[in-house]
Amino acid sequence: MLIDVLPLTGLDRSLAYAVPEVMQGQVFVGSLVRIPLLNRTELGVVAQMDSKEEVPAGKLKFIFEVLYNTPVLDGQLIQLGRWMQRYYAATLDAVFETMIPGAVRQQTAPKLRSLIEIGQILPDEEMAALEKRAPKQAELYRFLQQQIKPLPKGMVLQRLKVNAASCTTLVKKGLVREFAEREERTVYTDDLAGAETVAAHDVVLNDEQQAAADDFRVSLASNEFRPHLLHGVTGSGKTEVYLDTMRATLAVGGG
């Protein structure tokens, strides 16, 4: 399988690479990969699956590594990056490099969090002794005993106002089990994806709003960049003018 990879090197063009058979289920558009380029190794973003470029067999190179299980740029971010390339007259690799956090490009070690859960079950008499001897340890133990799954250590200690030493003591005794879990990173989250959809209603602009909106539409019709200054106090209706202009822009295929 051949893919187009955009090296993050300033080259400003995609190159075709072959994907080793063992990696073919791991590569997607937007994946961050390590590639051979001349006599060095570089990072690149997969720009397209099933490359149409014809590469002589003797010059075909394989990608070295897929850095993450999921793409670092999803479809919406790639679309935004291509728009930024056109609008700001920038190179696409420079835009993508800006969009990908430095820690991701440098393959910083994954973030880990400590989880705790109940360990050994204490008999009633030993539990009573623990409550008398160390009430905070007993409180933590009883709380974890009531949980159905492991919980973040920091959150539990803060909620119960129990110090870390009490937890450590329980861990050493085997009454509480502590372990680390990798925090999975989400490339992009649309916080409004599950929001309630409200039916839009038509807004009639007043004369001043309409005059401003008409001026925006003149610029839109000319397909030329023109700066506009919309002046008005809070609550004067500027947002409705912006929304009207957005609807007009989307209607002609802009965005």
With residue 245 as reference, give the H or E element that holds it: helix 238-251
Rounded to an integer, what is the distance from CA 205 to the centroid of its chain?
A: 38
CB atoms within 10 A of CB 250: 10
Backbone phi, then psi, for 152, in 5-degree steps? Answer: -60, 130
Convert the pLDDT of each residue in 174-193 to its tens digit.
Answer: 999 999 887 766 656 667 77
Q: Mean pLDDT over all residues of the chain?
A: 88
Query: Would the pTM of this model clear 0.85, i.e. be above it?
Result: no
The pLDDT of residue 236 is above 70: yes
- For range 226-252, the mean pLDDT: 90
The pLDDT of residue 55 is above 90: no
Starting at the earlier edge strand, list the strands of the sheet with 151-152.
151-152, 112-118, 176-182
The percent of residues above 90 in pLDDT, for the chain, comes to 57
- The DSSP 8-state label assigned to residue 121 in this structure reads P
Least confident piece of the model among 21-30, 94-103, 104-113, 225-234:
104-113
Q: Give the pLDDT of residue 54.
A: 84
Convert the pLDDT of each residue in 70-92 to its tens digit.
Answer: 899 988 899 999 999 999 999 99
Confidence of residue 42 (pLDDT cuts 50, 70, 90): very high
C-alpha 166/C-alpha 141 separation (Å) is: 10
Least confident piece of the model among 91-100, 142-151, 201-210:
201-210
Helix (H, G, I), strand (E, B) or coil at 221: helix
